Amino acid sequence: MSYLPDDVVRRLQSVVELPDLTGTRYELLGEIGRGGMGAVYLVRDRELERNAALKVAGSLDSEARLMAALEHPGIVPVYDAGVLPDGRAFYVMRFVEGRRLDEYCRETPNLAERLRVFQKVCDAVSFAHSRGVIHRDLTPRNIMAGPFGEVFVLDWGVARSGQARESPGLVVGTPDYMPPEQAAGDSHQSTVASDVYALGAVLASVLGPAAPKPLGAIVRQACQSNPADRYAEVQALNREITRYLELEPVLAYRESWRERLGRFAGKNRTLLLLLGAYLAVKVLLYFFRPN
């Protein structure tokens, strides 16, 4: 038995996991990414002459069916599903081109633009909740912002629908975005509030270190340790962002009279400018009126 050098072992590790697509309409172009729940490959659909993303899972999993049931502009559509010759399941979905949310935020200085993208994420997650599906792994890495304003929530590999059962003690998710109840292994108790927590953490990353105080308060409320103290639903969180963008008072934040005045001034800037101009004209007329 000959010695396998490290580079050969690494190559074998990679090739034994490559999906064998012989007999399918897909041609393997390369690997896009890899997570705990399987690898995603870039493939060429020879029949439709377009690129797509193909995900391989260890066994026939429910992710494809779950995603296929969630028809929403913010959730990647599933095109096809099947079983590879080696018994592993695969499904094919739209290949999303764009930037991950963390990259998008780094390259987008305008806070309002970033918040509007975040609101689209809230819409997609809220839609999933309305269908009884909890994502459970919302992070900036699982959100893609496309070049034409499209926003997609990806990686529904650990999502759970209302009927699913799983063993207690199972920890799923990403540590920095995981609510305490999920980190403690109570994943079977994941609820809407768990995703609200993760969205709060995502919002914190969207805001960066210099977050305006009302937005910071929204993050704090979404990320409360006790699920009952968080926003009851994603759209409640979303409405808070809308209030902030429209210079309305944010419910999670008690503002001082100065801040209230500042917000009033910001909201009524045109009116105040007109009023200022009118007063200035009056003053000028007073001093330069003919004797």
> Where does this chain touch other proteins (CB under 8 A) — which range of 18-26, 189-197, 254-262, 272-280?
18-26
Nearest residue (CB) to other proteins, 17 versus 259: 17
The encoded tokens of residue 46 equal 């020879």
Residues 187-206 that bind other proteins (CB under 8 A): none
The encoded tokens of residue 181 equal 């109840």
Contact between 1 and other proteins by CB under 8 A: the answer reads yes
The encoded tokens of residue 247 equal 């210079």
Contact between 12 and other proteins by CB under 8 A: the answer reads yes
Nearest residue (CB) to other proteins, 97 versus 176: 176
In terms of Cβ atoms closer than 10 Å to its own Cβ (0-12, 13-18, 19+), residue 266 is exposed
Contact between 175 and other proteins by CB under 8 A: the answer reads no
Shortest distance in whole angstroms from residue 268 CB to other proteins:
55
Give CA–CA dist 36/142, Å, rounded. Answer: 13
Give CA–CA dist 37/53, Å, rounded. Answer: 15
21: closest CA among 47, 63, 68, 155?
A: 47
Contact between 30 and other proteins by CB under 8 A: the answer reads no
Nearest residue (CB) to other proteins, 4 versus 283: 4
Look up 137 and say whether it is catalytic.
Answer: yes
Taking the CB of residue 288, how many other CB atoms lie within 10 A of it? 7
Catalytic residue among 6, 80, 86, 137: 137
Residues with Cβ < 8 Å from 129, sequence gap 6 or more?
A: 192, 195, 233, 234
Residues 72-131 that bind other proteins (CB under 8 A): 83-88
Nearest residue (CB) to other proteins, 28 versus 236: 28
> Where does this chain touch other proteins (CB under 8 A) — which range of 19-27, 103-111, 142-150, 253-261?
19-27
Contact between 5 and other proteins by CB under 8 A: the answer reads yes
Shortest distance in whole angstroms from residue 199 CB to other proteins:
26
**In b/e form, how buried is each residue of 150-187, taking b as 16+ CB within 10 angstroms?**
ebbbbbbbbbbeeeeeeeeeeebbbeebbbebbeeebb
Site residues (vs other proteins, CB under 8 A): 1-13, 15-18, 20-22, 34, 36, 58-59, 83-88
The set of catalytic residues is 137
